[in-house]
């Protein structure tokens, strides 16, 4: 990946960080992902919304250029011959729109944590800004970076399963399995803002993990959700925050299925799994055995495809770094999204066509789809009946 | 079990078979289950609705007394000092009611394959007949015979999980993953009647596997489903038979969850799994690893309880025959329901209180609950909104 | 199976039990196995070496004819027109030879628990007696009754793996993981005699589980062990009983590998697994996932063959009773050996050629191979160098 | 880790690469591992033994300072105020000694791929050089970097298993399952040198994977192998290269067990697993499910410890980066060794005591143990009887 990026750009992509300091869980993940394949130089950053802390944290991380705020970073970097090409945004959800619009306005490519924003209209605004300015906008729906998820997608795309009929996806966590809101003083800041609807979004479970499940399903099936029958709310009595979402799905082509996401499953550890069935076969992937994809056929042995096998589809072979039996996992999948982003940025700046494999990286449009899905689920919950998902 | 039955009755229970001949899949399972723990003498039977075939099949099986039809069996056995105590009904669904009512009218205890009947009213009639006559009526919801399912039930009952919040159950098969109805001549008779709504019931997927999933969930959680938001129908285009059911659940106590059942999952092999979460912990059981129950806790290692361990709850210890590491499976679970039935019959005939452990066996009332659940799911599907489940 | 046996014999095989009463673990397993497929009438038995207890236990089991001792059973049954055809021996190891010779002398076919005897010479004697009298002699090496073990054997036999190169087998238990011998009064009788070299054999770990592992390996590979480099003894300090055996193997054709068996693995639950590799592929089977066989190929996805699939080899399809996804397990595998035995007995008595599928049942000759293997392992342990395994 | 290193050193450790260019499999792994936690600046390198290629590859990787050979790198870097602190050696085995001695002589700390050398004497020489010069020397036995392997080590060290009795380790690969030597022209250079005894060492299977298995076993048990009964050679007929090693072990304290390593297992994918049993319990770890450690107890449920749980031992908690359910894998484990190395180097240069957690990193002495183990295995194979392992 390093070689492909430098072949296009003559150097690595210069990246500025926005957020991810302090006790952020995802900040260190983004930074590892950016280093992983040596496609980026992380040269600048605004690590906190508090100017002093922002400078201190940048120094602690050894960033060449720490800034007190986003506007300063954009302005100062623009003056430099070696200024940043792109920013990585990993702030609380309610600030994604502002920072992303600022970056796009400055001609910077953007990679942003999910959900894209907290409401559909601002999401569509970002889609339009990125499109009209011809800039790259990637969204870190990192589960689609797993090689075997990409194998699943290729298997569907190349019609190995025949016409799709049934699909289910589930994402089960336990972080809200107990009444954490009873002890707000014990909450980490990263939990606090997520549970605040003004900052984390109207529906915590949907924004935090439901959109991941939705994107995984759409990514693999290549089909959009058209309508939902949903029950989103709190399994915990007297809880305001949404912790559980049960959603009956109708996908393009009449595919039936269910999306289930909960954070109230005490003891569950981020369990994510997907099943897709067509007339010719089915597939099953789960993050807990991320290096495998089970491919099923009618009345025949199932096949266990393992990451790195030479017989896999090119999209998944490209996403693996080492041979089967040497497992890759969460960071590697995240890094694949970053490396895709680097390739897209390098190609855009070089005026070359982008590597088609990098086009797998989730975009702002995927983020808008996710927000339309959330809206439909909340509408359906409110009305108690089917709701259509807005399409773009 | 043999010893407990003979201690009460002075002998084994005398059983007459109703159905299960020909290419029946479940007939041989019932017969093995009845032999397993040596609690029954299978002495009579009506093996087919066609009199000649009924006699020939009884002879082929080596049954001491084969009969041409149900009425004859009942009449002739009533005359004998060593006549049957009970019947096991494993005919197509539409005849369960008739045969069960005939047996109950003759004072015979009944064990019957599921679903109890094809409609709620006749199911309630059977419940009432059995109750008013004081007879035993068991339904072979065999999955509740698995020792580790009984362990799960005990874990919930003894409040190991704390107040329940979330529960999901899924039953995924592939037998209708292809368009088998295009070749009716290739269908086995046992498939043909199941797909005929007049014989197999209004909703094939619900009657065949959905009720198993529903009973498993109710059995383990000890809670009834109160309301559903459902989408039951055919994932396969232009198919009349229901092959897929997606059901959002609200259980007693506000428990949220999903039941998903499909027969259109090409390549899936009867995959049944259950997850239940409360504030203090969760559990996961899957038929594919039936000898294990995963018990989860917040921020602590999960525990793998294995069938036969001395530390298990008594209900599950009693349901295991051999030590851990010597796996038991489908037939053993089925046999547990039969042995429960034998104990209940022997106790009733001996005028003794029934062994409380045998009371785990599913009853006609469970069958009625299943039909009420089906009705509510179909109502919800038709209306596109929530439906209440009738309670008894 | 019932049908095949009665077609040959006009009835089921009449079986007499020898041993298996009291707290025997394996006695109930044999009795279930004999009932499973309805190929036997268990009509007589000597349930204990103590005459009074023998009679009482036979009555408690509801056996038609209980006897006080083996000689009486043989004499009385011989007088009856409906006397037993065969005996099932499940007494402590040191009495197998005596009872088996008595039965063979009386013209009875024999099914016997393993190990065949406690020494090679008496084992060879039984092989010769059975051979010279033309009687059936089966040994309950029950693991070879698993359908997927038979699939593994067929895969090797039909050269799916190419020339074999490597094979390992392991059998790990925890029953001697603690110093149980310090509390002899707490031992079950079934443990006590096993740990007594005079009754259980010179090497407990070898006789109890090592021979199972050895037979499984030979059964699947179709190759005999030619030489061993072994370390058999006690992992527990100051223990006389052998609890652990590490054996380096050289099989026919130069196959290299290892057999490891221990009863000193605290917490392990009868974990048995086998791996075989040839130039074209490999296979892996473990009892904990007995319904699956993993078949591996070079640089290609592994294949998960599941019990009951129509694409399996005929030997394994015949050994399955229900479709994939309805798991079968320990009792079903044991029952397969019994049903093989019934077919062999019925064919012999009918003067017909035996069903080739029944010929998979382990024989007295396999038992002699097992004892020769034990002898070689003990020789190697004593000498500290390679020992050849006697071949017959 | 970055923070801990910079706190000691005021900056990151400056690293020079030795080898790992071209089609090297392990080169990119080392480079990712060095970047992962941002503890190193990789500023220099000799990427090939061919000077021109060395320079070209360094440039392609974007290394600030590429050199044509090791002597030049050492000399030039020594002149710079910002010269390298340490080298990472990932050349073919036969050159480890030379490059490591050169680096140590220049006062550079060393991290080196395994095996340490190809013979015990040169290994002991390196141990002595590093010791006498007071330099850090780490060996990338990367499997001991897995958090759950460290948890296993802590469980043993804190006596959770009681006195150890039994241990087995196995490492099974398929790369030599077919006769690759028949097509030498198709071999990658990285395969070619490994199969050449002069470069890859006397026993390919032992040097390549056997030492990993040996180190994993010693690391977790905290016990050295004292004696072996081994059979090392080629399972493939007419093959000179050793592809399979079967080794019966006697560890300190009388622990019995087996080490099995093969590269002739067609279809196997780098399968590594370890079982350790003591009187109070056992544990099982396998790379294929690297985020889990199964801890077993007598007659009680097994416990599944998962990477990242707050209840784990501190050594394993420190080795995890993200919460349970977000799997980490091969690269993360490798990176843990690198980060340990960085901490050791930084502490040494700062004249501070090393973080005790970093002391888990394998050392030159572990490498010497590995070579003594290989020697004993080859001696035992040659003599056909037990060989003692030299201790230091």
Q: What is the pLDDT of residues C131-142, one digit of tens each?
A: 999 999 999 999
pTM passes above 0.80: yes
Lowest mean pLDDT among B10-24, B221-235, C183-197, C289-303: C183-197
> Could you tell me which residues are beta bridge partners of residue A139?
A112
Question: With an 8 Å Cβ cutoff, are A326 and D270 in contact?
Answer: yes
Q: Name the minimum distance, in Å, from the CA of B39 to any CA of chain C.
A: 10
Helix ranges (H only) for chain A are 2-9, 26-36, 51-61, 70-79, 96-105, 120-133, 147-157, 189-195, 197-200, 204-205, 211-221, 314-318, 330-350, 364-383
The verdict on A266 touching D (C-beta cutoff 8 Å) is no
- pLDDT of C319-368, one tens digit each? 999 999 999 999 999 999 999 999 999 999 999 999 999 999 999 999 99
The verdict on C288 touching A (C-beta cutoff 8 Å) is no
- Supply the pLDDT for residue D174: 97
Lowest mean pLDDT among A175-189, A211-225, C334-348, D275-289: A175-189
- Supply the pLDDT for residue C186: 85
What are the b/e assignments for A355-372, b being 16+ CB within 10 Å? Answer: bebbebbbbbbbbbbbbb
What are the boundaries of each domain within chain B?
2-143+336-361, 147-289+291-318+368-388
In percent, how much of chain B has pLDDT > 70? 100
d(CA A171, CA A261): 5
- How large is the C-alpha radius of gyration of chain C? 21
Position B190 confidence tier, pLDDT thresholds 50, 70, 90: confident
Q: For C325, name the nearest residue in chain A, comparing CA atoms only.
A: A299
**CB-closest option in B301, B305, B310 to D309:** B301
Q: Chains that contact A by 3+ CB pairs under 8 Å?
A: B, C, D
- pLDDT of B58-88, one tens digit each? 999 999 999 999 999 999 999 999 999 999 9
User: Is pLDDT of B323 > 90?
Assistant: yes
Q: Name the minimum distance, in Å, from the CA of C230 to any CA of chain D.
A: 8
Question: With an 8 Å Cβ cutoff, are D331 and A330 in contact?
Answer: no
The CATH topology of domain D147-289+291-319+368-388 is Dihydrodipicolinate Reductase; domain 2 (3.30.360)
Indicate the length of chain D as a whole number: 392
- pLDDT of C212-223, one tens digit each? 999 999 999 999
Position D188 confidence tier, pLDDT thresholds 50, 70, 90: confident
What are the b/e assignments for B358-378, b being 16+ CB within 10 Å? Answer: bebbbbbbbbbbbbbbbbbbb
> Could you tell me which residues are beta bridge partners of residue B277?
B166, B282
Most C CBs within 10 A among A299, A301, A304, hence the mutation to make, goes to A301
Question: With an 8 Å Cβ cutoff, are D311 and B304 in contact?
Answer: no
- Supply the pLDDT for residue D317: 96
Position A185 confidence tier, pLDDT thresholds 50, 70, 90: confident
Mean pLDDT value of segment D317-322: 96
Tokens representing B162?
């704390």
User: Is pLDDT of B187 > 90?
Assistant: no
- Supply the pLDDT for residue A283: 98
Question: With an 8 Å Cβ cutoff, are C309 and A302 in contact?
Answer: no
Q: What angle do CA C56, C57, C60 make, to 5 degrees?
A: 90
Position A266 confidence tier, pLDDT thresholds 50, 70, 90: very high
User: Is pLDDT of C317 > 90?
Assistant: yes
Question: With an 8 Å Cβ cutoff, are D266 and C281 in contact?
Answer: yes
- Supply the pLDDT for residue C131: 98
Contact between C85 and C106 (Cβ < 8 Å)? no
The verdict on B31 touching C (C-beta cutoff 8 Å) is yes
Question: With an 8 Å Cβ cutoff, are A25 and D322 in contact?
Answer: yes
* 3-class secondary-structure state, position B303: strand
> Could you tell me which residues are beta bridge partners of residue A343?
none
Kindly list the distances between the CA atom of residue C292 and the CA atoms of B274, B289, C306, C327, in Å, as whole numbers in the listed order: 21, 11, 5, 10
> β-pairing, D86-89 with D65-66?
unpaired
Question: With an 8 Å Cβ cutoff, are C301 and A306 in contact?
Answer: yes
In percent, how much of chain A has pLDDT > 70? 100
Give percent helix, percent strand, percent coil of chain B, each to the nearest 5. 45, 20, 35
The verdict on D31 touching A (C-beta cutoff 8 Å) is yes
Tell me what the pLDDT averaged over chain C comes to: 97
The verdict on D301 touching B (C-beta cutoff 8 Å) is yes
Position B189 confidence tier, pLDDT thresholds 50, 70, 90: confident
The verdict on C299 touching A (C-beta cutoff 8 Å) is yes
CATH code that applies to domain B147-289+291-318+368-388: 3.30.360.10
- Supply the pLDDT for residue D186: 85
In percent, how much of chain A has pLDDT > 90? 94
Question: With an 8 Å Cβ cutoff, are D311 and B303 in contact?
Answer: no
The verdict on C183 touching A (C-beta cutoff 8 Å) is no
The verdict on A268 touching D (C-beta cutoff 8 Å) is yes
Position C79 confidence tier, pLDDT thresholds 50, 70, 90: very high
- Supply the pLDDT for residue A231: 98
Question: With an 8 Å Cβ cutoff, are A299 and C309 in contact?
Answer: yes
CATH number (3.30.499.10, 3.10.450.100, 3.30.1370.110, 3.40.50.720) of A2-143+336-361 reads 3.40.50.720
Q: For C25, name the nearest residue in chain B, comparing CA atoms only.
A: B322
- Supply the pLDDT for residue D187: 86
Mean pLDDT value of segment A226-230: 98
The verdict on D270 touching A (C-beta cutoff 8 Å) is yes
Q: Name the minimum distance, in Å, from the CA of D292 to any CA of chain B.
A: 10
Q: How many CA atoms lie within 13 A of B175 on its CB side?
A: 21
Helix ranges (H only) for chain C are 2-9, 26-36, 51-61, 70-79, 96-105, 120-133, 147-157, 189-195, 197-200, 204-205, 211-221, 314-318, 330-350, 364-383
Burial of A32 (0-12, 13-18, 19+ CB in 10 A): buried
- Supply the pLDDT for residue D75: 98
- pLDDT of A295-333, one tens digit each? 999 999 999 999 999 999 999 999 999 999 999 999 999
- pLDDT of C104-130, one tens digit each? 999 999 999 999 999 999 999 999 999
User: Is pLDDT of C66 > 90?
Assistant: yes
Task: Look at C10 and C185; give whichever has higher pLDDT.
Answer: C10
The verdict on C330 touching B (C-beta cutoff 8 Å) is yes
- Supply the pLDDT for residue A186: 85
Tokens representing C222?
């179709």
Q: For A306, name the nearest residue in chain C, comparing CA atoms only.
A: C301
- pLDDT of C186-202, one tens digit each? 888 888 899 998 999 99
Chain C CB contacts of B326 under 8 Å are 270, 329-330
Q: Name the minimum distance, in Å, from the CA of A236 to any CA of chain B.
A: 6
- Supply the pLDDT for residue A300: 97
Thinking of the domain A147-289+291-322+368-388, which architecture would CATH place it in?
2-Layer Sandwich (3.30)
- pLDDT of B249-276, one tens digit each? 999 999 999 999 999 999 999 999 999 9
Most B CBs within 10 A among D283, D302, D310, hence the mutation to make, goes to D302
* 3-class secondary-structure state, position C65: strand
Tell me what the pLDDT averaged over chain B comes to: 97
**CB-closest option in A275, A279, A384 to B386:** A384
- pLDDT of D148-173, one tens digit each? 999 999 999 999 999 999 999 999 99
User: Is pLDDT of C185 > 90?
Assistant: no
The verdict on C180 touching D (C-beta cutoff 8 Å) is no
């Amino acid at each position: 990946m390093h070689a492909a990026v430098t072949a296009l750009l003559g150097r690595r992509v210069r990246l500025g960080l926005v957020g991810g300091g302090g006790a952020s869980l995802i900040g260190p993940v983004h930074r590892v992902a950016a280093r992983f394949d040596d496609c980026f130089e992380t040269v600048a950053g605004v690590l906190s919304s508090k100017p002093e802390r922002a400078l201190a944290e940048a120094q602690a991380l050894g960033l060449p250029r720490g800034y007190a705020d986003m506007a300063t970073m954009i302005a100062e970097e623009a003056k430099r011959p070696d200024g940043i090409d792109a920013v990585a945004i990993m702030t609380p959800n309610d600030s994604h729109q502002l920072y992303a619009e600022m970056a796009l306005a400055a001609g910077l490519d953007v990679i942003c944590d999910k959900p894209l924003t907290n409401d559909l209209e601002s999401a569509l605004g970002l889609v339009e800004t990125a499109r009209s300015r011809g800039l790259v906008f990637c969204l870190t729906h990192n589960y689609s970076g797993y090689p075997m998820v990409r194998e699943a997608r290729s298997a569907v795309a190349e019609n190995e399963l025949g016409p799709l009929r049934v699909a289910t996806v589930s994402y089960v966590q336990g972080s809200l399995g107990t009444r954490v809101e009873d002890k707000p003083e014990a909450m980490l800041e990263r939990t606090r803002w997520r549970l605040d609807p003004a900052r984390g979004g109207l529906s915590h479970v949907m924004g935090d993990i439901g959109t991941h499940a939705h994107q995984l399903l759409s990514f693999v099936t290549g089909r959009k959700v058209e309508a939902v029958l949903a029950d989103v709310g709190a399994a915990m009595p007297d809880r305001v925050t949404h912790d559980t979402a049960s959603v009956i799905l109708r996908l393009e082509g009449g595919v039936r299925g269910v999306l289930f996401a909960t954070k109230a499953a005490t003891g569950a550890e981020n369990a994510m799994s997907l099943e897709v069935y067509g007339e010719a076969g089915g597939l099953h992937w789960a993050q807990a055995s991320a290096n495998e994809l089970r491919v099923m056929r009618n009345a025949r042995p199932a096949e266990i495809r393992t990451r790195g096998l030479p017989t896999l589809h090119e999209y998944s072979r490209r996403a693996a770094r080492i041979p089967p039996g040497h497992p890759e996992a969460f960071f590697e999948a995240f890094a694949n999204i970053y490396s895709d982003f680097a390739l897209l940025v390098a190609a855009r700046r070089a005026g070359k066509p982008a590597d088609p494999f990098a086009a797998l990286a989730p975009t702002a449009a995927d983020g808008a789809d996710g927000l339309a899905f959330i809206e439909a689920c909340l509408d359906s919950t409110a009305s108690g009946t089917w709701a259509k998902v807005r399409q773009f």
